[in-house]
Amino acid sequence: MDNSVVISTPPHVKSKRTTKGIMLDVIIALIPAAVMAIVYFRLNAFVLEITSVLAAVATEFVYFFIANKGFSDKCSHAGEVCKKWWKQFDYTSVVTGLILALILPPTAQWYQVLIGAIFSIAIVKMVFGGTGKNLVNPAATGRIFMFISFSITAYTACAIGPIGNGSIIFTGATNLAGLLPAAGSGANAGSYVSLLDLFLGTGVAGCIGETCTLALIVGYLYLVVRRVIKWWQPLLFIVIASFLSVCLAAIGSKSFEINLFLDFAMSGGLMFAAIFMATDYVTSPKGVYGQIVYYVALGVLTAVLRYLTKIEVVSFVIMIMNLLVPLIDTYIVRKPFGYKKVKKQKEGK
């Protein structure tokens, strides 16, 4: 034995899974949605995706470079910083960039997504300490930032919910008139998107990555099979949000129509957000019980706020719940194995 042996605390064997691997899995799961976005919305979607991802990665690099004083010294130091960056690069910014692009309407401009991506990475993530330290989901917050900043193009008329006689689901950005049967004002009561269309995303208005439900389900199944997320997490969110929406719709129209359940589930950004944004590790609770509380609260808030505001609120809901996560983590602590037995024994005596 020479001096090259490593000494550390046990365990001395570790699983093959790494942060990089998980992030690659998420990217792979996002690919169907990204491809379908390009299929349906053509060049515009492609430009948005590329711009967003590149801007996100570049922002992270520049921030890292400045933070590690890459400019201060000579060339060799800058090279070292670059190497260091590459060593710690874990694809999280790629995921953030891709998600941010996929939750934008096709009318968004490249410079808007550029600014949004820079905001997401620099302000939401890096300022708080980078990977694992951000308080809120960078992509959701970037979307909200863009919603507020460029309110005209991004998300004016993303209305959701039964409008008019209750049998119509209308989701979309208005200025895709040529593409959309449901285009026009929200009062256009005659337009109806069939379930099959919602499932495949054909002719549905909406954000570029959110329209094709099939692609999202493929991504969901991949994540579940790879054990990146737990199968019940997105389902809890989607089922509760959709079911409550049906109930709330029943209050307005005085008729309980359970067949609207699937329309609610597949409309708008709910499914995408539930699968890819709510399940973000960093901003969701750590324990199982905390997670249940979190996903139920997400579902309830989504349904209620959608009903009250008539706009797509999923990003806002995710940001609100993200901010409550530290509270959930502090107050919902698991009981250790064998804890209950102690109580029972005392009662028995």
**Using CB under 8 A as the criterion, which residues of the chain lie in contact with other proteins when the complex forms?**
1-2, 4-15, 17-19, 21-22, 88, 90, 129-133, 281-288, 291, 329-330, 333-342, 345
Return d(Cα 43, Cα 343) in angstroms, integer. Answer: 64
The residue among 259 and 345 lying less far from other proteins, judged by its C-beta, is 345
The residue among 21 and 164 lying less far from other proteins, judged by its C-beta, is 21
The residue among 267 and 291 lying less far from other proteins, judged by its C-beta, is 291
The answer to whether 120 and 298 are in contact (CB under 8 A) is: no
Least Å from the CB of residue 133 to other proteins: 7
Return d(Cα 244, Cα 266) in angstroms, integer. Answer: 14
Return d(Cα 76, Cα 41) in angstroms, integer. Answer: 45
Least Å from the CB of residue 192 to other proteins: 41
Least Å from the CB of residue 348 to other proteins: 12
Return d(Cα 302, Cα 115) in angstroms, integer. Answer: 27
The residue among 179 and 282 lying less far from other proteins, judged by its C-beta, is 282
Residues in the chain: 349
> Quick one: 46 exposed, middle or buried, by C-beta within 10 A (0-12, 13-18, 19+)?
middle
Least Å from the CB of residue 110 to other proteins: 30
The residue among 178 and 348 lying less far from other proteins, judged by its C-beta, is 348
Least Å from the CB of residue 247 to other proteins: 31
Least Å from the CB of residue 284 to other proteins: 8
Return d(Cα 320, Cα 302) in angstroms, integer. Answer: 11
The answer to whether 96 and 72 are in contact (CB under 8 A) is: no
The residue among 249 and 293 lying less far from other proteins, judged by its C-beta, is 293
Give me the amino acid identity at 139: A
Structure tokens at 207: 């954000």
